[in-house]
Each structure stands twice: as C-alpha cells, then as structure tokens.
Structure 1
Amino acid sequence: MDGRTLSWALRVAGVLLGCTTAAAGLLAFLLAGVALGPFLLWPHTRPGAFGVLMAGARRLAGLERNRRSFFFGDRFPEHYESCDRKVLRYLAVRGSTGLLCGVVIGLLGIGAVLAGLLVRGAVQGSLRWGELLTQSLLGGVLLFLGLQGLRSLVALDSRLARESFGPSEQELLQRRIDELAVSRAAVVQAVDAERRRIERDIHDGIQQRLVALAMLLGRARRGRDPEQADALLLQAHQESRDVLAELREVAWRVYPSALDDLGLEEALGGVAERCGVPVRTEFTVQGPLPRPVETAAYFVVSETVTNAAKHSGATAVSVRVLLDNQVLTVRVRDNGRGGADPAGVGLSGLRSRVDALDGALHIDSPEGGPTMVTAELPCV
C-alpha cells in the first residue's frame, strides 16, 4: 500500500470514527445536562456545576483534536487554549454535523445495496431498458448529491477544528495589529537612539577635532617663528585628515552610499576593509534584493562586526549572506569572548530594524564565545 492510499484510508477511518464520537458526545451532553441541570439553574451551585461540565467538554474536545491530528494530519498550536465558549460551540456543532455525516454515509450504503440489486436485475433480464435507464439516472443524481454533501461536511469539520483549536481570523488579525504597533514603536525608538548616537559622535568627535584644528591654525597664524608655524600647519593638516576620516565614518553609519552605487556585496567588502580584525565574507545571492532588505542586511553586518572588533576581543570574524526560498539569511560569527547582551542599544536597534521587515534576529553568545548573530529577512 503506497502513501497516498494509506492517507485516504486514514481519512476514511477518521470520518467514520468522527460519526461515532459525535454520537457519543451528544449522548454525554444529554446525560450531563440531565444530571447537572438543576445545579446549573441554582446560582449558588452554578459555578461548580459549570466547572464539571467544562471539564468533561474539554476531554471530549481533546479526543476530537487527537482524532484530527492522527487521521487527518492537522497541526494545532501547542500552547493555545480555547475559551469555554469556543469549546461548547465546537462540540454542539460537531455533534450535529457528525450525526448528519453518519446519516449521509448510511444513505450512501443503502444506495450501494440498491445499485447492486439493480445490476443483478439487469443481468438477469428482469428490468426493461427504460426502467433501468430511469433508475440509473436517479441513482446517479442521488449519488452525486450524497458525495457532495459528505465532502461539504468533512470540510466543515476541518474548518471547525481550525477555528476551535487555534486562533480565529479575528484573533490573528488582532495579534498582527499588536505586532505592528510594537514594531512601529520599536522602530521609532531605534531611530531616535540612532539620531542621539550620531549627534554624540558629531559633538564629541568631529566638533572637538574641528575646535582643535581651529586652534592649531590660529596658533600658526599668530606665531612669529617660521619653523614653529610649519610644525603647527603640519599638525593642522593631519588633524584635518583625521576629521575627514571620522566624518566619512559617521556618514557611513547614517547610510552607506556604496549600497546605491555598488550594491550590497561591495558595501560589505567596505565593512571588512575598515574592520580592525580579519573578516572573511561569503556572499551567495543571485539577483537583485529589495532595497530595505539590503539596508537591513548591511547594518546587521556593520553593527555586529564593529561590536566584535571593539568589545569581544575577537581575532577573526566570518560573514555569510545566503538567499534561499526568498529569505535572505545573514550570519555573522566571531571567536571572541562572547557574553553579548541582546538588550544592548546596538543589538536591540538591529532587532527593531529586522522586526520592521517581518524578519527574525537570533543571538547566540555564551560566556567564553563564540558569538553568532543570525538575521532572517524575507524578500517578498
């Protein structure tokens, strides 16, 4: 028996078993209603009686969930717990549709017996051709209606299970709204943090160097000794070069122009060249990438490599960029001391940037190393 035949056999067995469990569930509810009815009507005993009723209802729902998982291969969220209303609604509708499904299967069985009698009559010659044609036409219509009804009932059973044992469309929509609200707030916070860092870099770095440059030029201008003036001008020239290098570094942290001019691979090559430790880059991407994905991938590599060079004591960093099934995976690994804080300003900003693209950022940095940062960015 091949896999497809086995699957159909399991589904047929699951449908037949579902008719039995539906009848058993309705009978259990009827008995529970008779036994607990007076206690449910009295306000003082209602909570306890309702708790007993729901305990039995959840057991029945658990059996139905296991039936769907085993015979139909359905997968439901493990940690999702349906509310009492959804459980009772499922069992009530499931009992009705299950009994109706049993009736349809019974009618199909009776139709199969009648079809056998009709074939035997045709073989024996006891039926005229007109009567045989009429009976065959009527039987074919009834068979079609029965099969369509059975198919609809099976589809309804599947939809009821998905809605009852997992989040509904409304719950998924609300969850998505909450995720987008959190992601938007995180992006705004990350942008503000980046602006403050840029302002701090300009104020504490470039501005102070420009003040020093102005002082050197002023001293050279006021000096009377030509040799001292030449030395001051030499210092001023070196200071101006340092200012340009730092300004270029700040500009690259704001947005790398190489992304627009040369693409992601060349921009990552620039990150490797400016890093103080050796960086080995493996780039396996065929075709263009969306611009937001390129930007996010660049900043993931740039921030992670910079942290590795400054704080981890790493002597080697490897970067791998891979596009597979419309998902761009960026993995940065260093051999440093580990212990990176995922809640730190830099890594939390990266997480916000990745979350804004519906991506995922994984940080594995045990004490003693190594550290591995993996970003998964969808490209659709």
Structure 2
Amino acid sequence: MPLVSGEMVRVAGRLVVGVAVGGVSAVGEVVFLILALLGMAVGGRPWVYGVARGLAEFERGRILRFFGQAFTGEFSGERALRYLGVRWLVGGLGLGVLLLMLFGAVNAVLMLVQLARGGSIIEFDAPEGVSWYDPVTYVLFGGLLAFVTIQGMLGVVELDRRLARHFLGPTVQERLQRRVSELTVSRAEVVEAIDAERRRIERDLHDGVQQRIVALGMLLGRARRTDDSGRAAELVRQAHDEAGRALTDLREVTWRVYPIALDTDGLRVALESLAEMAVIPVHLRYTLTERYPSAVEVPAYFVASEAVTNAVKHSGASRIDLAVERVGSAIVVRVTDDGVGGADPRGGGLSGLARRVAAVDGVFTVDSPPAGPTVITARLPCA
C-alpha cells in the first residue's frame, strides 16, 4: 500500500487551495474593516452590516467547499462584522504559512541544484565542494521546515473552522430552541405512533384471532346440535384445528406487541425467533457482542419486525437479509429484500417506524427503487 495515495493528495491540495483563498480574502477583509470604521463613523451602519454578511457567507461557503464543514443557521450583520474582525488574522496567518512553504520549496530547489553541481549548500563558494554534513543538513533542516509548515497549515484550517463555527454557527440559545422544537415534534410523533400501534393491534385481534374464535364457537355449536356421532366427531376435529390456528395467530400478535424473549434473552434471540417464524427465508447477520439498554434494543427489534412483515406481505421477495451491527456510536439495523421494490416511506408501517426511530434521535432511511431491491436502514444511537 503506498504511503501517499491519490485521495490524500487531493485532500491536501484542497486544503492548500482553501488556505490560499482564505489568505487572499483576508486582504480584502482588512480593506473592508478600514472602510467599515469610516462608514460607521458617518452613519453607514446598514451597508456595513450588509457587506459584512456577504463576506461572512463567502467565508462559510469557502470552508464548506475546501474544508468540508457546514454551518447552518442565520447570523446577524453584527456577528458577521465581529467574525471578520478576527478572521483576517487567521487568513493572514495562513498566507504567511503558504509563503513559508513557497520559500522552503524554492530553497530546496536551489540546494538540489547546488548539490548536483558538486558545491556546498552552506558556502556556495567553498572550493572543497560537497562536505559530508551537507546532505545531513539538507535532510534535517528541510524535514523540519516541511513539518512546521504542514502543521501550521493544518492548525490554520482547524482554527478557521472553529472561528466560523463560533461566530457563524447557531448560538447556544438557538441550539436549545431547535432542540425543544425537535423534542416537541418527536413527542407528538411518538403519541401518534402509539395510537397507530394500538389500532393495528385491535385490527389484528379483530380480523384474526376474533374471527378464529367465532369460527371455533360455531363448529362446537354445530357439533352439540347434531345427532350424528360421526359428524360430531368431524366437527370437533375441525374445532380442534381451528383452536390451533387461533393460538398461532394469538402468538403472532403477542410477538408483534412485545416479545418476552427480548427481555429474558436479548435482541439476538428475539431476532432469531423472528427469522424462524417468517414464511420467507430470513438470513440473520448479528455482530453485536453485548447487551444494550431497552431504549436501543426495543426500537431495533420493531424496525426489523415491521420491515420483515412488510416484505413478506407486499414485496413478493424470495429472500430477506437482516443485519444488525455497531457502527461507531450507533446500532445499525438493515433489512434488505429482493422483491419488486417501490416501497412508499410515507406508508403507515414505514412512517410509524420512522417516528419510532426519531423518538430516540435515530435516523431512518428507505431505499426502494421500482425494480428493487428494498433496503430499510435504521441508525440508533447507543452511546
């Protein structure tokens, strides 16, 4: 594996260009700040704030494009002016680092030319030619200069990011207001999801178990009224079969409400039972090595359960892959089927899962092109 890959070169080039653009813009910002002082003195506050906002937006776009960090939210002209009052120092520092890099590169070329001619890099007129310490001096001082300039450029990049985040990013009050809004929406969605879950349970009991029990009662009633012993025995046998099917339906409903194995044996066993009960082959890949709180395992199970149920009912799939793994500080549940695709994320089942995942600050995505496959992914924070 090469020590320097093409991607590393591209990233380094992008950072250098970003620092260079920031250094050039810093010169313009110094000019603007001087004019802003004069403008504020003669009552030109509105245009000063307007230009400051424009320059700050330019800097935010530059940082996003070259440094890969975005800052959301609105900021006032006053905050933008304060930002520019400090930002030009960082830009000037970055420009100085780039000039130092250029100086080092030019000196490196001159030294190499001098060594190639057989001269000394310390004394250009030295008659004895190359000394033993010339290569050592070249490597040591060249490496030191390269290290200092690279670290300086990375420091400027990080300082530029933090400065923009501090002045142009949302304030503490704005973050709190945004969080309150998110929690308000999340609470409403949780209530809606609970109501939808209750309606689904009632529908499953009414359309499934209740109908089975009604049929069972009718069979037993017919068996009591008949005088034919053979016919009565056949009706009792049918009633026995119907009781078994009712019990199976009831077991499925209870598993969809809340599987007891999730508390006693953990998420892995609950998912294994889910895979065994599915009428389509479900291939489970479970890589978690420890138990997690119920706030993580419960939504993880219901995402898998609802996604598998939807695939069985609507996708026409012949295979379902269920993967549960930890990625960073999140548990990722991914359900993939080879069905016809076209799943609507706004449908009742999937939208309910999205609300359930959002309630724990997770991320829920559905990728289902018309020809398939369908991939349902939930990222649940566990840290």
- Establish whether TM, by shorter chain, passes 0.5: yes
Provide, for residues 158-185 of structure 1, a one-character-per-residue CA deviation record: whole Å limited to 9, x for no partner.
Answer: 7663232211111111111111111111
Distance 1:63 1:313, change over 3 A: closer
> Given the alignment, which residue of 58, 77, 82 partners 1:84?
77
Identify the residue that residue 288 of structure 1 maps to in structure 2. Answer: 291
1:339, 1:28 → 2: CA distance? 59
User: SS at the partner of 2:289?
Assistant: coil
Distance 1:28 1:352, change over 3 A: same
Distance 1:64 1:194, change over 3 A: closer
The correspondence of residues 16-95 of structure 1 with structure 2, limited to 5 A, is: 23-33=30-40, 37=43, 50=46, 52-62=47-57, 65=60, 75-77=69-71, 80-91=73-84, 94=86
Identify the residue that residue 309 of structure 2 maps to in structure 1. Answer: 306
Provide, for residues 97-149 of structure 1, a one-character-per-residue CA deviation record: whole Å limited to 9, x for no partner.
Answer: 96xx99xxxxxxxxxxxxxxxxxxxxxxxxxxxxxxxxxxxxxxxxxxxxxxx
Contact 2:354 2:364 in 1 (8 A): yes
Contact 1:14 1:68 in 2 (8 A): no
Deviates more, 1:61-70 or 1:288-297: 61-70
Provide, for residues 257-285 of structure 1, a one-character-per-residue CA deviation record: whole Å limited to 9, x for no partner.
Answer: 11122221121111111111111111111
Distance 1:90 1:289, change over 3 A: same
Identify the residue that residue 328 of structure 1 maps to in structure 2. Answer: 331
Q: How many residues align?
A: 309
Contact 1:277 1:314 in 2 (8 A): yes
Deviation at 1:256, TM superposition (A): 0.6
Contact 2:80 2:167 in 1 (8 A): yes
> Given the alignment, which residue of 167, 177, 193 partners 1:190?
193
Deviation at 1:213, TM superposition (A): 1.2
Identify the residue that residue 131 of structure 2 maps to in structure 1. Answer: none
The correspondence of residues 171-250 of structure 1 with structure 2, limited to 5 A, is: 171-250=174-253
Deviation at 1:15, TM superposition (A): 11
Q: TM-score, normalised by structure 2?
A: 0.70
Contact 1:94 1:157 in 2 (8 A): no
Identify the residue that residue 341 of structure 2 maps to in structure 1. Answer: 338
Amino acid at match of 1:218: G
Amino acid at match of 2:359: A
Identify the residue that residue 43 of structure 1 maps to in structure 2. Answer: none
Provide, for residues 29-65 of structure 1, a one-character-per-residue CA deviation record: whole Å limited to 9, x for no partner.
Answer: 134346x73xx6xxxxxxxx93x44442234334655
Contact 1:76 1:165 in 2 (8 A): no
Distance 1:85 1:297, change over 3 A: same
Deviation at 1:21, TM superposition (A): 6.2
Identify the residue that residue 106 of structure 2 maps to in structure 1. Answer: none
The correspondence of residues 140-155 of structure 1 with structure 2, limited to 5 A, is: none
Distance 1:166 1:284, change over 3 A: same
1:306, 1:70 → 2: CA distance? 43
Identify the residue that residue 166 of structure 2 maps to in structure 1. Answer: 163
The correspondence of residues 355-374 of structure 1 with structure 2, limited to 5 A, is: 355-374=358-377
1:354 has 2:348 as partner: no
1:69, 1:309 → 2: CA distance? 43
The correspondence of residues 132-143 of structure 1 with structure 2, limited to 5 A, is: none
Contact 1:276 1:309 in 2 (8 A): yes
User: SS at the partner of 1:339?
Assistant: coil
2:306, 2:63 → 1: CA distance? 47
Distance 1:194 1:63, change over 3 A: closer
2:342, 2:313 → 1: CA distance? 13
Contact 2:74 2:170 in 1 (8 A): no
Q: TM-score, normalised by structure 1?
A: 0.71
Provide, for residues 273-328 of structure 1, a one-character-per-residue CA deviation record: whole Å limited to 9, x for no partner.
Answer: 11111111111111111122111111111111111111011011111111233311
User: SS at the partner of 1:333?
Assistant: strand
1:217, 1:20 → 2: CA distance? 93
Distance 1:247 1:168, change over 3 A: same
Amino acid at match of 1:61: A
Deviation at 1:219, TM superposition (A): 1.5
Amino acid at match of 1:183: S
Amino acid at match of 1:379: C
Amino acid at match of 1:359: G
Distance 1:328 1:231, change over 3 A: same
Contact 2:53 2:76 in 1 (8 A): no
Identify the residue that residue 275 of structure 1 maps to in structure 2. Answer: 278
Where does structure 2 lack aligned partners over 5 or more consecutive residues? 1-7, 94-157
User: SS at the partner of 1:209?
Assistant: helix
Deviation at 1:83, TM superposition (A): 3.0
- RMSD of aligned Cα (Å): 3.6
Where does structure 1 lack aligned partners over 5 or more consecutive residues? 41-48, 103-154
Contact 1:318 1:332 in 2 (8 A): yes
Amino acid at match of 2:31: A
Provide, for residues 218-263 of structure 1, a one-character-per-residue CA deviation record: whole Å limited to 9, x for no partner.
Answer: 1111211111110110111111111111111110010011112222
Deviates more, 1:362-371 or 1:206-215: 206-215
Task: Report the structure number with the largest CA radius of gyration.
Answer: 1
2:53, 2:364 → 1: CA distance? 37
Deviates more, 1:348-357 or 1:247-256: 348-357
Distance 1:195 1:162, change over 3 A: same
Distance 1:19 1:269, change over 3 A: closer
Contact 1:22 1:94 in 2 (8 A): no
